[in-house]
Amino acid sequence: MFVSIKKRMMKTASLLLLPLLLVGCVGGEDTMELPTKQWGDIHITVQTRPPQVRAGMIEFMVLAATKGRKPENELVVSLRMEGSQKWHQAIQDGFLGVYRRVVLVRDPAKDVLAVKLRVKKSDKEKILYFPLAQQRSVVEAAAQ
């Protein structure tokens, strides 16, 4: 009886762990980001999915952190390609200082991502510009 229960527990555990192991083994492209910019004491980094920007719908992840890499959660973040009139509000991803939004990229060599930051419950606002042509791998950025 105990052997049967032990076997069932092992099967269940292996079924639960298998997806995690498979995800961990997935190779992939290098993580890419645009050069970090600063607004006051907030550091803003933009990463993309897929990692290499190309024409089409691209997910932009705006990472906001203060000194000591503490997540900045009191922002409303909106994105648009420069020249476009419509702002698209990003979705806050938990309390990690990560904001996500999909935006149409027409020409990665010329397009510039505009990121509008507004502090919640305040009138403080700033627009930062990220030329997509400046995208580089995280490894390259760390080396500089």
Strand 75-81 vs strand 112-119: parallel, antiparallel, or unpaired? Answer: antiparallel
Cα 77 to chain centroid, rounded = 12
Please give the model's pTM, rounded to 2 decimal places: 0.75
pLDDT in tens, 104-114: 999 999 999 99
Q: Are 135 and 53 in contact (CB under 8 A)?
A: yes
Report d(CA 72, CA 97) in Å as an integer: 5
**Amino acid, res. 105:** V
Report d(CA 14, CA 82) in Å as an integer: 49
Q: Domain ranges for the chain, please list them.
A: 32-143
pLDDT in tens, 2-36: 556 666 655 554 545 444 444 444 445 577 899 99
CATH 2.60.40.10 describes domain 32-143: yes
